[in-house]
Amino acid sequence: MANQRFSCNYPIVKTILTSKGDVYRPSSIYPIVSLNYQLQSLYNKKRFEESCRKWAERSEDLDQLTDIYDRRKWKTFQDPQENLPFFRKELSDCRLGLMINLDWFQPYDNSPYSIGTIYGVICNLPHDERFKPSNILTLAIIPGPSEPKLHQLNYYLAPLIDQLDGL
């Protein structure tokens, strides 16, 4: 089934009158970064794959939940093509669990202007490495001046889902 996109009825360009006639400019800019490029950069880092394998090599305490790997969902998430667990020891450095986050910040003091950042972290990495700036994937920047409504976030997430679908 093909992906369907619905119009948000927001103008994608604004018309600017110049001495040479009308010029069209984007109404807002939505910068996204290639997820494929960022993952390649991570895999080119020394010991990245080794770090991704640490979750599978650690001793497991069945009485304690200390990280995402201890959760039932991580252990039982299925690969639909092989009918085996998706996250398994022999593929621990190439089957990545991606946690997608959304945070808002105000870049200017004394201003209500707000910008959103969609970023991802690799759950396979140990907790002490997962949130290091060098391991965080910047997926998109949502321009201001204010936060979009909850239903509008789908328009910002759609290009990211398309990228994930293509990996």
- The predicted-structure confidence for 113-144, as pLDDT tens digits, reads as follows 888 999 999 999 999 999 999 999 999 888 88
Neighbouring residues of 30: CB distance < 8 A, sequence distance ≥ 6 = 140, 141, 142, 143, 156, 159
Residue 3: predicted pLDDT: 56
* β-bridge pairing 115-122 and 98-105: antiparallel
Torsion 130-131-133-138 (CA) sign: positive
Q: Using CB atoms within 10 A of its CB, is residue 141 exposed (0-12), middle (13-18) or buried (19+)?
A: middle
Better pLDDT: 54 or 31: 54
Q: Strand order of the sheet with strand 98-105?
A: 98-105, 115-122, 137-142
What is the residue type of 142?
Answer: I
Convert the pLDDT of each residue in 20-46 to its tens digit.
888 877 776 777 788 999 999 999 999
Q: CA-to-CA distance for 92 and 52, rounded, in angstroms?
A: 6
